[in-house]
Amino acid sequence: MKDETRASIAASIGIAFEFYDFLIFGFISGILAKLFFPSTNSLVSLLDTLAVFATGFAGRPIGAIIFGHLGDKIGRKYTLILTMTLMGLSSLFTGLLPGYASIGILAPLLLTTLRILQGVSLGGEFGGGITLSAEFAEPSKRAFYVGIAQMAQGTGPLLATGLIFLFSSFMSTQEYNSIGWRILFVIGALIAVIGVIIRLKISESPVFKKVRETGKISKIPLAEAFRHHWKKILLGLGFIVGGTTMTYATGVFASSYLENVIGVPTKEVSLILVIGYIIQTIAIFLFGYLADRIGRKPLMITTAAGLVIFVYPYFYLLSTGAFSNILLAQLIYSIVGSASTAAYATALTEMFPTSVRYTALSFDYHVGVAVFGGTTPFIATYLIYATGYKLAPVYWGIAGMIVTLIAYILYKETLGTMFEGQQKVS
């Protein structure tokens, strides 16, 4: 196996874990609401649970700063091993956590604490994983290998929805609500173990090693990134807003919305998402290949413009509750939304120098995810609660995509960029 492929697979484990984790939380939010936030009003309990989901994202920017600093100072490999270990432990303890009936107020407090710790550990994943993938690849194939890592945005949720489909099919409702959801978090911990083993077997980024050998390691990467590259950091943050809003709206919120508001059975929701994520995984791979041929910018603009147009039809189709309509919505989103998945991530790596790349990517991604991803399920649910209008989340999705469309238009194409410390391949 090539070093580039091995690095991309090692990176993909962490990205898969992230999407597995948030989708599991979204699917079982109704169960967690009853176990940790019992109330006479089920929607209020659900809002409390989604607030915990959002609070957990507060840890992501902290993790981005901590692990970004370590990644740019001591290296990508061992920083990513540390983040994966913390992620696994947080998932394991969540699966073992007693409910409100057993330990009272400690239950929601401990759940919130574990979500924050999970967020801190996840804060070092995307930036480090994408950086590692990009730095192993030659410029002409960079988006392809970053695309392999980004395929985890499909495989992670695919694993989650596949397991939920199996559990909901073969477990009684009582079994699923009492032990099934706990097993899902324990499986997350097992994913982390596999990730640590794979990462122990890869070598350090050749680009980072070259920069370290020349003594060009940044003393304080975050300070250097903001001092010299603050405009690119703001632009990169714009990249994240729309995609993050839509990812969490179509994953965490959509599953909760369909089950708790529209009343679609869990089995149907999970089956639809399984099909959608299979298509998404294939599409990310193909669009990654294409991004190395025609550039990053055309695919990025296509996605943003397409989703601005499709946000309303997407939520309208979901609101009908019809299996065929929901499936159609998910299939279209899976293709259109995947066009920029490899392209924008690759563009981010090419916008920053090696000495601050891990830090800058981590900061952009996780500040964006914390502000616009973690809050999306809560805001979308609240908009429905406050207005009584089932399509109210449309406006939140459109606003996010317009911000990203503007950022994509301002971005200058970076196809063919050579990294500092990278050797040309003849």
Q: pLDDT for 59-98, tens place per residue?
A: 899 999 999 999 999 999 999 999 999 999 999 999 999 9
Q: Which two tokens stand for residue 158?
A: 């695919």
Q: Rounded to two decimals, what is the model's pTM?
A: 0.88
Q: How confident is the model at residue 12 (pLDDT cuts 50, 70, 90)?
A: very high
Q: Distance (Å, rounded) from C-alpha 7 to C-alpha 18?
A: 18
CB contact at 8 A, 369 and 349: no
Q: How confident is the model at residue 210 (pLDDT cuts 50, 70, 90)?
A: very high
CB contact at 8 A, 333 and 401: no
Residues 6+ away with beta carbon under 8 Å from 206: 135, 136, 421, 422, 423
Residue 314, pLDDT above cutoff 60: yes
Q: pLDDT for 165-195, tens place per residue?
A: 888 888 998 998 899 999 999 999 999 999 9
Helical H runs in 249-320?
Answer: 254-257, 266-294, 297-319
What DSSP designation does 169 have?
H
Residue 155, pLDDT above cutoff 70: yes
Q: What pLDDT does 55 receive?
A: 79
Q: What pLDDT does 48 receive?
A: 84
> Max CA-CA distance within the chain?
68
Range ranked top by mean pLDDT from 206-220, 306-320, 336-350 = 336-350
What is the Cβ-side half-sphere exposure of residue 77, based on CA atoms within 13 angstroms?
A: 16
Q: If you write DSSP's letter for every residue of 19-44 in order, what string do you get?
A: HHHHHHHHHTHHHHHHHHS--S-HHH
Q: pLDDT for 13-28, tens place per residue?
A: 999 998 888 778 877 8
Q: pLDDT for 121-136, tens place per residue?
A: 989 999 999 999 999 9
Q: Distance (Å, rounded) from C-alpha 270 to C-alpha 289?
A: 29
Q: What pLDDT does 263 receive?
A: 87
The better pLDDT of the pair 421, 379 is held by: 379
Q: What pLDDT does 245 receive?
A: 85
Q: What pLDDT does 63 receive?
A: 94
- Mean pLDDT of all residues in the chain? 90
Percentage of residues in the chain having pLDDT higher than 70: 98
Q: What pLDDT does 426 receive?
A: 39
Q: What pLDDT does 44 receive?
A: 83
What number is the average pLDDT over the span 89-111? 92
Q: What pLDDT does 423 receive?
A: 66
Lowest mean pLDDT among 40-44, 61-65, 237-241, 297-301: 40-44
Q: How confident is the model at residue 251 (pLDDT cuts 50, 70, 90)?
A: low
Lowest mean pLDDT among 9-18, 25-34, 145-154: 25-34
Burial tier of 100 (Cβ tally within 10 Å: 0-12, 13-18, 19+): middle
Domains of the chain: 3-202+228-410 (1.20.1250.20)
Rg (CA), the chain: 20
Q: If you write DSSP's letter for every residue of 356-371 in order, what string do you get?
A: THHHHHHHHHHHHIII
Residue 425, pLDDT above cutoff 60: no
